[in-house]
Amino acid sequence: MYGNADDKKSWLSNPAFSDLVSGDSFRSSDLVDGKTDIFVQLPLRALENTPEIGRTIIGALLNAVYEADGNIQNRVLFLLDEVARLGRMRIMATARDAGRKYGITLRLLYQSVGQLEEQWGREGKRAWYEAAAHRTYVAISDLDTAKELEETFGQYGVMATSEGSNSGTSGKGWEAGNRSRGTNTSYHEISRPLIRREELLNDARVDEAFVVVRGGRPLRCGMPIYFRRPEIREKIAANRFNKHLG
């Protein structure tokens, strides 16, 4: 079993669940042959009520890569959606810190930064940030996240212009005075956020992605949404979540 020590084992009494971790149609060690793709599809309700199922399966697959001890054909990608539902898994933290040399690549999908903090805590969030090769943000609607990204993206210098004018009169008594007028223009450099928090919240399109790259400049790009691309759309069957494809 993989996960927390207090995981419940009662879910094994459910035949549908126990079948997920039984059988001989494949071995978890097949994952490292470079020819095997494994799709784990768990109902959201089952993952909510019994996260131990997901932890056991993902933990076993991660452990299979560790057991290979570097004897793999290609890197192994773990693309995990709704990963916050799995809870805090020690073996996943190990994959974050040491899995790279074993050939493990983690791609974790969260609905919000708040989910990441809820799962791992503030210090855990920092550890994931430091280990990530890149972080991608889409459809930002949380002010704290927008503030964080504004600071992360940094600032750049812009030229500011200020203009002024003055006029005056000089003379004694009844003498005709001398009038003077003048204008001045000055230029100076000020700093401006690369992108402001209000721009992230109000001006960014929902299909824009903001990517924080370790050791590189941040990126602002569009997402390759599959139903906008004919070559991908024709490979996707209509389903109840995307009725417009029918």
pLDDT of residue 78: 95
β 76-80/104-108 pair status: parallel
pLDDT per position as a tens digit, 172-219: 656 656 777 778 788 777 788 899 999 999 999 988 999 999 989 999
Q: Does residue 16 sit in helix, strand or coil?
A: helix
The pTM of the full predicted model, rounded to 2 decimals, is 0.77
Residue 39 belongs to some domain of the structure: yes
Residue 207 belongs to some domain of the structure: no
Tell me which H or E stretch contains 39: none
pLDDT of residue 181: 77
> Could you list the residue range(s) of the whole structural domain that residue 47 is in?
1-132
CA atoms within 13 A on the CB side of 87: 18
pLDDT of residue 45: 85
- Whether the CB-CB separation of 151 and 191 falls below 8 Å is answered with no
- C-alpha 125/C-alpha 114 separation (Å) is 10
pLDDT of residue 108: 96
The sign of the torsion formed by the CA atoms of 3, 7, 9, 14 equals: negative
How many domains would you assign to the chain? Answer: 1
Residue 52 belongs to some domain of the structure: yes
Residue 228 belongs to some domain of the structure: no
Residue 178 belongs to some domain of the structure: no
- Whether the CB-CB separation of 210 and 218 falls below 8 Å is answered with yes
pLDDT of residue 6: 44
Q: What is the CATH number of the domain that holds 125?
A: 3.40.50.300
Residue 66 belongs to some domain of the structure: yes
pLDDT per position as a tens digit, 124-137: 999 999 999 999 99
- Whether the CB-CB separation of 112 and 145 falls below 8 Å is answered with yes
CA dihedral 138, 57, 60, 68 (to 10 degrees): -60
Residue 99 belongs to some domain of the structure: yes
- C-alpha 57/C-alpha 93 separation (Å) is 16
Residue 190 belongs to some domain of the structure: no
Tell me which H or E stretch contains 230: helix 230-233
Low-confidence ranges of the chain (pLDDT < 70): 1-9, 168-177, 242-246
